[in-house]
Each structure stands twice: as C-alpha cells, then as structure tokens.
Amino acid sequence: MIEVRGLTKRYGDVLAVDDLTFAVRTGEVTGFLGPNGAGKSTTLRMVLGLDAATSGTATVGGRPYADQPAPLKAVGALLDAGAVLPSRTAYHHLLALAAGNGLPRGRVAEVLAEVGLEKVAGRRTGTYSLGMRQRLGIAAALLGDPPVLIFDEPLNGLDPEGIVWIRGLMRRMAAEGRAVLMSSHLMSEMALTADHLIVIGRGRLVADTGMKDFIEAHSVREVFVRTPRPAALRRLLAAGTDVRADGADGLVVSGLEAAEVGALAAAAGIELHELTPRQPSLEQAFMDLTRDSVEYQAEVA
Ligand SMILES: Nc1ncnc2c1ncn2[C@@H]1O[C@H](COP(=O)(O)OP(=O)(O)OP(=O)(O)O)[C@@H](O)[C@H]1O
C-alpha cells in the first residue's frame, strides 16, 4: 500500500535519504526505525507530498500523494502534533478538516470518541497538553477512515495509559486490514506493537524484516549466572565462550545455552545460585545493527 522506490532527498551537502526502497503491507504494523537524523521524518514527508524528492518515487495505493483525489480518505497521518491553530477548539479543527475533504460531519464525533477527547472537544487546543494534542492528531488521521496510516513518533508525550491505548489502536487498525507505518524511539513499545520493521541509518535501508527475525538475527543469546565461585566457573567456560563479569558474583555468558552452563558447572561441582537465559531485546538488536550509522552519539558506559 505504501511503496517507496529509489527515494532520495538531498539538502545541500546533506544526503538525508539515500536511494531508499521498501514497501509497507496491509494488515500489519510496520515499525520505522533509525537513529536520530537517519532520515525517517524526511522519508515520511516525501510519502505525504510535504517535501519533493530529489529522485525516486513514493506512492500510496499506487499513486503519489499529490494525485490522490481525496487525500484524507487515502492516507491518514500524524507528523507534527503541534501543527494546529491554538485558538481553535478540537471540534472545530476536525470539522474544518472534514468540510475541506468532503467528509460527513458525523465523523468528527466518531473520531473524538475513538481517541477519548469528547469531553474536552470544546476547549481551545492551545490549552491542550502534549498528550492531548497527540490524540487530536490521531483523530485527524482517522477522520477519512483511510486504508493507510502513518504516525511519526505517536507516543511522544503520552502517559502509560496513552501508550497502551496507542498499542491497541495500531494493532486494531492493522487487524482491520490497514497498512500502518509508525516511527518511534521507544524500542520496548515498538517490540510489542510492530509485526515488521524497516530500519534505516544515514538515509539508507539497513533492514526490512519481520520483528522476530530481526531480533534473532541481530542479538546475541546470553545467560546470566550467579555463583560464589565466579573465577572457577569462568576458567571452566573460557574456551570458545564470551564471558564477562556482572557484579561481584555474576557472569554473563554468550555462546552457550543455560542448560550447557548448568551441566558444566554441575560436572565440576560448582554451586550456582542463579541461571537465567536473557531474552534478546529489540533495543539491543537495534543498537548493534545501527552502531555504525549513528550520527550523534554520547559515550555510554
Ligand atoms: N529542511 C532541512 N534542511 C536541511 N537539512 C535537513 C532538513 N530536514 C532534515 N534535514 C537533515 O536531514 C537528515 C535527516 O533528518 P530527519 O529529520 O529526516 O531524521 P529522523 O530520522 O526523522 O531523525 P529523528 O529521529 O531525530 O527525528 C538530518 O541530517 C537532518 O539534519
């Protein structure tokens, strides 16, 4: 439903998006990941016709955004939740959008209910919190009941209840057969929400793969083990195994399963107080994969 082919954007000397090709399928939530400055927002702006591509194409449902006869019915997007007139009420903001796009007024009440803003719909948006503005932006995206939804950092400013709500909304929109593309830097939430991932770094495609495959392919399986004799266990495990200390009596072992570590320790008579396989995380996989394409980085101990 969203197709990006050879998409490139140059700002002077900066190659913000570099020959990017990917597709976003219906019935799935696709996570759009990349370090700061990777080119995510620039890509989304080009898909939505807000920025002209230097070369390449981006289409939604087979057409460039500019050629959509009814854009809000083709694609709903939340890019910048601040882009609302502060003197307008949420109700009038949505009503103006509906009128301008030939949508029935009844949709306004429906989407306000969907995002939980009915009670505050008569307030000026200038008085809204960031989380309320995010919800209003999502209401606007849903107004035309589009088959394609694009959300740039929709979790910004949302409280824990709001984050869980977004997760449910995205999953439901995908289950209804829509294509949902969402960017976020919150990896734990992305891991719970997305089925598929598009990862970019310095404007280039780094990965286009299923969530599970991505985590498995880019993370190392580790086992945490606690013992009163860490030095003895370490000597035992040394050959071919990567072992590092974690606290006074803990070791993190990669390259062996928990059962193998347990068996080796038992055979040598080394007492264990804990033996825990560590689940590989999206965060770790993402950081390992994009380490070389991070532009702005502080040293992390
Ligand atoms: N209007 C512009 N003029 C010049 N350079 C720009 C412009 N917009 C973006 N860039 C540059 O293009 C690159 C990609 O920026 P973009 O905002 O698309 O990244 P991003 O992946 O969305 O980052 P973040 O995660 O920080 O939001 C950056 O180097 C940025 O400085």
Residue 297 pLDDT exceeds 70: no
In a domain, 72, yes or no: yes
Give the separation between CA 78 and CA 21, rounded to whole angstroms.
22
**Domain-terminating residue out of 160, 181, 210:** 210
Nearest CA to 166 among 198, 147, 142, 196?
A: 142
Mean pLDDT over 179-183 rounds to: 97
pLDDT confidence of residue 225? 96
Q: How many CA atoms lie within 13 A of 276 on its CB side?
A: 12
Mean pLDDT of all residues in 88-104:
93
In a domain, 174, yes or no: yes
Structure tokens at 18: 């570099």
Using one digit for the tens of pLDDT, what is the confidence trace for 20-78? 999 999 999 999 999 999 999 999 999 999 999 999 999 999 999 999 988 999 999 99
User: How far is residue 115's CA from residue 84's CA, in Å, rounded to a whole number?
Assistant: 16
40 with 24: CB under 8 angstroms? no
Q: Which of 4, 13, 36, 41 for a ligand 1 pocket mutation test, highest count of atoms within 8 Å of Cβ?
A: 41
170: nearest Cα among 5, 22, 24: 24
Q: Which residues pair with 8 in a beta bridge?
A: 55
Which residue's CA is the closest to the ligand 1 atom numbered 30? 37
177 Cβ closer than 6 Å to some ligand 1 atom = no
Q: Please give the Cα distance from 61 to 38 (Å, whole number).
A: 25
113 CA from centroid of ligand 1 (Å):
34
Q: Are residues 6 and 123 in the same domain?
A: yes
Domain span at residue 144 reads 2-210
Q: Are residues 14 and 148 located together in one domain of the fold?
A: yes
- pLDDT (mean) for 133-142: 94
Residue 297, in any domain of the structure: no
What's the pTM? 0.86
Query: Would you give the DSSP letter of residue 280?
Result: P
Task: Please tell me whether residues 224 and 206 are part of one structural domain.
Answer: no
pLDDT in tens, 196-226: 999 999 999 999 999 999 988 887 788 999 9
Q: Can you spell out the DSSP letters for 23-88?
A: EE-TTEEEEEE--TTSSHHHHHHHHTTSS--SEEEEEETTB-GGG-SSHHHHEEEES-TT-S-TTS
Report CA 200 to chain centroid distance, whole Å.
12
Residue where a domain stops, chosen among 210, 233, 264: 210
CATH number, domain of 101, equals 3.40.50.300
* Complex ipTM value: 0.96
Q: Which residue's CA is the closest to the ligand 1 atom numbered 25?
A: 36
- What's the domain count of the chain? 2
- Do 146 and 58 belong together in one domain? yes
Same domain, 198 and 263: no
For position 287, what pLDDT does the model report? Answer: 85
Within a domain: 64: yes
Q: How far is the CA of 232 from the centre of ligand 1 (A)?
A: 51
Residue 157 confidence class, pLDDT cut points 50, 70, 90: confident
Q: Per residue in 243-290, pLDDT tens?
A: 999 999 999 998 888 999 999 999 999 999 999 998 888 988 888 888
Confirm whether 288 is domain-assigned.
Answer: no
Reported confidence tier of residue 156, pLDDT bands at 50, 70, 90: confident
Name the residue among 160, 164, 142 with its Cα closest to residue 151.
142
Same domain, 172 and 109: yes
50 and 132 co-located in one domain:
yes
Predicted pLDDT at 219:
77
Q: Report if residue 293 sits inside a domain.
A: no
- With a 6 Å cutoff on the Cβ, whether 184 touches ligand 1 is no
In a domain, residue 287? The reply is: no
Is residue 136 within 8 Å of residue 125, measured between CB atoms?
yes
pLDDT at 285: 86
